[in-house]
Structure 1
Amino acid sequence: MLPPAESRDTESDETDPVIGILRQAKQLACQYYELTGKPLGVTGEIAEFEAARLLGLTLHVARTAGYDATEIRNGQPYKIQIKGRCITNTNARHAGRMGSINLNQEFDSVMLVLLDHEFNAFAIYEATRGLCEELIHAEGSVARNVRGSLAISQFKSRGTLRWVREEPRK
């Protein structure tokens, strides 16, 4: 288990080696996308770290079945599955789909970390397991019913906004 990013023994973000590596990964991912038109495949890791850093979550080791992080709520660990999505046009009406949510795994909620074209978080939404189950089991889409893949717009409209980036005033 990794401690929340905010509790690490670092003087600032500038001295945290993980933040330095992620900064480089973000730059490489942007360059790779510009050259190939394809994602580099680091969105999930960046999303997990951003959620931990911004919300004080405790990240768990890779491949922990069902969840990526925990947060203490009402004195108990609350298991959170984290999904990330890079959205290059934040004004777009349709932002695509989230990664699959496996209801056979143990978790209490799902967080969706939305990243801009530079892989910086601009919003984090959360939905309880119960709401995810309701949305996935609703009649309709094969992507939703079989693969457990929800539309980002649907998740945002039914979930709770946990964090949003403050935009500078003009």
Structure 2
Amino acid sequence: MSAKMEDKAARRLKELLAAVKLLAAEYYVLTGKPLGVTGEIAEYVAAETLGLELAPPRTAGYDAIRHPPEGQQRVQIKGRAYGPDAKPGQRVGRIKKGAACDKVLLVLLDNKTLEPREMWEADYGHVANRLDVPGSKARERGSLGVGEFKRLGQKIWPAPARETDRKRRVVFNDRDG
């Protein structure tokens, strides 16, 4: 496929996923049930927001590739839609054990709009080690709680405010006040 055709296909794919996102959000508002496209939307949102290259469909073990200066990173992307009334104990979808990936990215979406709220990332090795701890049927199935995943990883979007930014805000607010 030529570069021009690939660009056209990529643009059309973005249009389709944007439309699906709107339809899925409306479906949730009308029925209170998810449409079942959270994973695809999470992949799309992560790629667009973080500049990831989506892997070809059905690639075993990872969904996207990041190209930092130190070398390629394979990223498994998990999506979870939730709202303010979400029950505690929300779980991340099944994380593939033994996967050929370097990072696991959790994209948390607003369940009414499917807009991203937060993105958390953990080293795959840390996640795999946690899944191997005995005593949990959910972990045996490759599933972690959202809170558990957050403890293993770090928030990467929106970027956490730096200490110097917080200090500037305090000083600025004091001058206004």
Q: What does 1:105-120 correspond to in 2, within 5 Å?
A: 105-116=99-110, 117-120=112-115
Out of 138, 148, 159, the position equivalent to 1:154 is 148
Q: Measure how far apart 1:20 and its partner are.
A: 3.1
Q: Residue 84 and residue 42 in structure 1: after superposition, are their counterparts in 2 closer, same or farther (change >3 A)?
A: same
Higher helix share: 2
2:138 corresponds to which of 138, 143, 148: 143
Q: Secondary structure at the match of 2:96?
A: coil
> How many percent identity over aligned positions?
43
- Matched with 1:64 is 59
Structure 2 distance, partners of 1:161, 1:69, is 18
Q: Which residue of 2 aligns with 1:79?
A: 74
Is 2:39 the counterpart of 1:48? no
Matching residue's letter, 2:102: D
8 Å contact 2:55–2:64 — kept in the other structure? yes
Amino acid at match of 1:158: L
Structure label with greater radius of gyration = 2
- 1:17, CA displacement in angstroms? 3.9
Which of 22, 26, 30 pairs up with 2:21?
26
Aligned-residue Cα RMSD (Å) equals 2.5
Residues 127 and 152 in structure 2, CA contact (< 8 A), matched pair in contact too: no
Shift of 1:77: 1.2
The alpha-carbon deviation at position 50 of structure 1 amounts to: 0.8
* Separation in structure 2 between the aligned mates of residue 74 and residue 26 of structure 1, nearest angstrom: 32
Whether contact under 8 Å (1:114, 1:123) holds in the other structure is yes
* TM-score normalised by L of structure 1: 0.80
Q: Deviations over 1:27-63 (max 9, x none)?
A: 2112222333321111111101111111111111111
Q: Please state how far the C-alpha of 1:19 moved relative to its aligned partner.
A: 3.6
Q: Which residue number in structure 1 is paired with residue 34 of structure 2?
A: 39
List runs of 5+ in structure 1 lacking aligned partners: 1-7, 11-15
Please say if 1:99 is aligned against 2:93.
Answer: yes
Aligned to 2:116: 121
Aligned to 1:134: 129
SS at match of 2:72: strand
Alignment TM-score, normalising by the size of structure 2: 0.77
